[in-house]
Chains A and B, each alone.
Chain A
Amino acid sequence: MPTESSGLDLAYDASSAPFFEGAAQGRLVLQRCGACETWMWPVKYRCVHCFAADVEWRPASGRATLYSLSVVHQQYPGFPHPYVIATVETDEGVRFNTTLVGDDVENMAIGSALMAEFDADEQPFTLPRFRRIP
């Protein structure tokens, strides 16, 4: 998360609020279809698989696998240099981009097992980050 000096005005809107409210409470909250139980990356209004309208926000396990990562060397105001963007795939089968925490994350092996973690004090809102687990 950049500092105020980045000049980016960051705020989430109502459509994604359950994700960020969940993060503030230490949970990775995603969407799941009540009809076919497919988990989805938000924000979806109908199930991406069966197109049912019964899409609900549910806490996921927080467990994931590292799918890919990039060490970013471009410099942006408020960001460390360099920093890491990672693609993870959760145990529920949802893939998205996030970041990693821990030692030597730049060299983390693709396929590493991960767990989401959260800093309740992060401003202006809490983001999921992923740490390698044994």
Chain B
Amino acid sequence: MTPMGKIYGRTTADFAAEAIALALEDAGLEKSDIDGLLLNGNGNLDMDPRLQWALGFEDLSLMSSMRAYGSSVGTMVQYASLALEAGLANYVVLVYGDTPLKPAVGAGAAYAARGVWDGMNVLKAAYGEFGGNVPYALAARRHMDLFGTTSEQLGAIAVAQREWALMNPLAQMNKPMTLADHQASRLVAEPFHLFDCCLVSNGAVAVIMTTAERAKDLRQPPVHLKAATQAAPGDNQRAGREPGIVTGAKQAGEQAFALAGITRDDVDILQLYDCYTYTVLVTLEDYGFCAKGEGGAFVEDGKLGPGGSLPTNTGGGQLSGYYMWGFTPLSETVMQVRGQAGERQVAKNDIVLSSGNGGVLNFHSTTIWSKHAD
């Protein structure tokens, strides 16, 4: 992965090329070994299929720009694994790149200005529903009303992740944060304070997937994929369903645990997609780490932080680390399973679960990884 954050004057393609070069070096592979390329970006035109040409890859047998919003990472892993198993490709590069930050443009403005207001979407502009803050805030507020969840409980997630970030040299946020700091941070869209919201980053991450047999000859310890599932529950905006309360994580999680042949008790480390603190809370519930509605009480004792019983988002996540969509949890997953996370390395790292989420708690992907082949 490239450096992350307020790095200006470089294109997304430039970042993507650097991330791929770093991944090749890390794995001990040559560009000519690569025969699969899967691309993902946050609506960024640079992550178009034509990026292949800009990167100079030739004779690929698997190539696509993939879009399932923040869940794309798991769908890319899933498709790559199926292609590898079927013998359709040998070495597949998955890459995410984005450059939303420009000098003197705030993050909210950087994304808000991207909207296309067709059909009923014109209502979003007319009412002032820009970007993800409002729809996620509406889901969080609903959860609070149903279950008594508090802003302080959401804050406990942000504080735990900041503690992790302080041990991550790649993280953008490197100052300590207390619960009081969280509560004092400015309101963005109630119930969210600024510190309930993810960062925005310029940068790119690349991950190379291959078969277990081929991985034996590579430079790094293998990270074995045990399950890759996705769920897209949809939302017909009809009464009787609560799409912000029960998310795609429920279905994708149940399927992933079954495919991997494990239970949630076997999971040592969680890397959960965290566009907002609430996303972590609702995902924990939907994966069954606590009962529906009990997420607030579950997280408030700090069990997600360093030294806690359920290490979660150990690189600081997207709240305090870097915002590379699902490649933030996936990149930290790889480092933890390999035992290369430095000061923040979790001692028991046999099984790591990584999630992706997008379309406002709708598109979801779950991947389960192990340091053991069996």
Chain A residues packing against B (C-beta within 8 Å):
1-2, 8-13, 15-16, 19, 38, 40-43, 48-49, 67-74, 76, 79, 82-83, 85, 87, 89, 93-99, 110, 125, 127
Contacts and interface: CB of A to CB of B under 8 A. Distances in A.
A68 B120 contact: no
A8 B237 contact: no
A93 B190 contact: no
B128 A76 contact: yes
A82 B189 CA distance: 9
A8 B142 CA distance: 30
Contacts of A41: 120, 236-237
A31 to B, nearest CB: 11
B145 interface: yes
Interface residues of B, number: 36
10 contacts: A2-B128, A42-B119, A68-B244, A70-B189, A70-B190, A82-B187, A85-B128, A85-B134, A85-B138, A98-B123
B175 interface: no
B138 A94 contact: no
Interface of B: 108, 112, 117-120, 122-130, 133-135, 137-139, 141-142, 145, 186-191, 236-240, 244
A43 B236 CA distance: 11
A48 B133 contact: no
Contact of A15 (B119, B129, B130): B119
Given A43-B119, A68-B138, A73 B145 contact: no
Contact of A76 (B112, B138, B238): B112
Secondary structure at chain A's binding surface: helix, strand, loop or mixed? loop
B127 A97 contact: yes
A87 B118 CA distance: 20
Contacts of A15: 119
